[in-house]
Structure 1
């Protein structure tokens, strides 16, 4: 498994809505995540800054990157766009983090 972590940003007025939408994750979005090799996916919120810390394990980088081309992922991005910082294609602005420590 490959461990990945990233940071995104949600707007302060939308913390609760962001959580609500993820609590009711569309079944087809969950399916596409799993089909593209996602496991143990968690997102944490720093309420002081609006920073989101995302962590997941994937099976394969190339397989994972293909998720962005799916209709359901693009639909999810458009759905989440009003709540967070996004790129012109509605994907979340995201900074990948470099792992510097791991204890199994």
Structure 2
């Protein structure tokens, strides 16, 4: 992608349950191929997760070709992944407790 300015950017923080950091890493090391396909199908072209182990928090950042549509149905594979991760992440109802992060600076080279 040559024009990064046309992409929709999202960042968030998730909290890993105490004692589950190694399991969180393991599950992402073995992420399902169908989950990767579902992420790509949702318009994600760049997705990275950073771990801050002392706080049990992860910072996620993704770039999409378009903003997500909150009214669109959630891919069944993504729903299965959320369920799979429920014992590892702090949850809010049926999805990980996710705190959005505001961008306050951006530099494009």
| TM-score, normalised relative to structure 1 | 0.90
Asked whether the equivalents of residues 41 and 55 of structure 1 are also in contact (C-alpha less than 8 Å), the reply is yes
Which consecutive unaligned segments of at least 5 residues does structure 1 have?
none
How many equivalent pairs are there? 102
1:75 is aligned to: 80
The alignment yields a C-alpha RMSD, in angstroms, of 1.6
Structure with larger Rg: 2
CA distance in 1: counterparts of 2:49 and 2:17, whole angstroms? 15
In structure 2, distance between residues paired with 1:70 and 1:12: 29
- 1:28, CA displacement in angstroms? 0.5
Task: Report what 1:95 is aligned to.
Answer: 99
Q: Does 1:42 align with 2:48?
A: yes
In the TM superposition, residue 58 of structure 1 has moved relative to its aligned partner by 0.8
Q: Work out whether residues 37 and 64 of structure 1, in 8 Å CA contact, stay in contact via their aligned partners in 2.
A: no
Deviations 1:9-59 (A, max 9, x none): 001311111011011110000000000011221111111111110001011
1:42·1:56 contact (CA, 8 Å) conserved in 2? Answer: yes
Q: Secondary structure at the match of 1:6?
A: strand
Structure 2: gaps spanning 5 or more residues: 1-6
- In 2, Cα distance between the equivalents of 1:64 and 1:97? 18
With the length of structure 2 as denominator, give the TM-score of the two structures. Answer: 0.86
- Tell me, yes or no, if structure 1 residue 10 matches structure 2 residue 2: no
Counterpart of 1:86? Answer: 91
Extract structure 1 runs of 4+ deviating beyond 3 A. 62-66
**More divergent stretch after superposition (44-53 vs 56-65):** 56-65
